[in-house]
Amino acid sequence: MDVDLRKLRYFVAVAERLHFGRAAEALHIAQPVLSRQIRALEFELKVQLFVRTRRATELSPAGEQLLADAGPLLASAEALRRRATRAARGADSFTVGFMPGLIVTAAVRTLRERHPGLTVEVVRTTWDDQTEAIHDGRVDIGYVRLPIDQRGLRVRPLMSEPRVAVLPTGHRLAGKDMTDIADLADEHLLQDPDAVPEWRDIATELRRPGRRRTGPVFHAVEEKLEHVAAGRGVVVLPLSVVTFYTRPDVTYVPVTDIAPNQVCLAWDSARRNPLIGEFATIATDLVTDGQ
């Protein structure tokens, strides 16, 4: 049996909101149409996907399983579409992904100069999608920050850079030449603790059962800096990120006893585009030459 991807997208919209009305509004379709499509999907799969009462809509066990499986399936379909679109455009375009704080201008300019008819685009990625953008075809090659899931990728080390503690300007550590991770043990971290395992292993708020401070984990650099400036916690970032986003209400102190951040180039190991290898060589040579 073939699964209708359109019905699957409708299902995911409802499953993520657990509300048919809000899902229909997000999909820009009428609620009765959405309900019919979900019933049709249930009929095709011969399972009940939702348990609906007057007060709530919940996923059935089959619905929970389908939601877990639907994400990768829809992502693969979207990646296929993007790769086909890119192939249809031919070899006249090339896209480079880059993480915050990294400047790729010199490498992009060099590639353009070597291939005057080539359109070279750049796409800013984040911690959440830096590898996803490679897999789904949004970028041909990406400047990534480790750690990443390297399955299906070729990864070439490029450089490393120190990491710093980002603090509000009135912080007790502000103005110090350097610090160590133990000085941050009593701080609240505004990012995923797994991103700073050295802090996670000694953090006061993680070592006391039930004492972990609640609150969102922020992913965008701009969000992190806003909350640091407001005195709600600290973050640990690569040095280039902080210097790129300089602002007067935030300062930073080098942390001496944590591993540096590793910057690499990464691309889909199945791709055979010769421009990928050429760009990787250009970028590596520029770093070697100190540009």
pLDDT for position 232: 93
| Domain of 11, in residue numbers | 5-81
- Tally of structural domains, the chain: 3
- Co-location of 266 and 138 in the same domain: yes
At what angle are helices 20-27 and 31-45 packed, to 10 degrees?
100
- Co-location of 169 and 49 in the same domain: no
- Co-location of 144 and 209 in the same domain: no
List of the chain residues with pLDDT < 50: none
Contact residues for 283 (Cβ-Cβ < 8 A; gap 6+): 104, 107, 143, 158, 265
- Co-location of 147 and 278 in the same domain: yes
pLDDT for position 192: 85
CATH number where 174 lies: 3.40.190.10
Given 47, 81, 115, which residue is the final one in a domain?
Answer: 81
pLDDT for position 210: 56
H/E segment holding residue 110: helix 105-114
- Co-location of 49 and 192 in the same domain: no
pLDDT for position 82: 66
> Positive or negative, the Cα torsion across 171, 228, 218, 138?
negative
- Co-location of 247 and 125 in the same domain: no
- Co-location of 153 and 9 in the same domain: no
Question: What pTM does this model have?
Answer: 0.69
Given 55, 81, 107, which residue is the final one in a domain?
Answer: 81
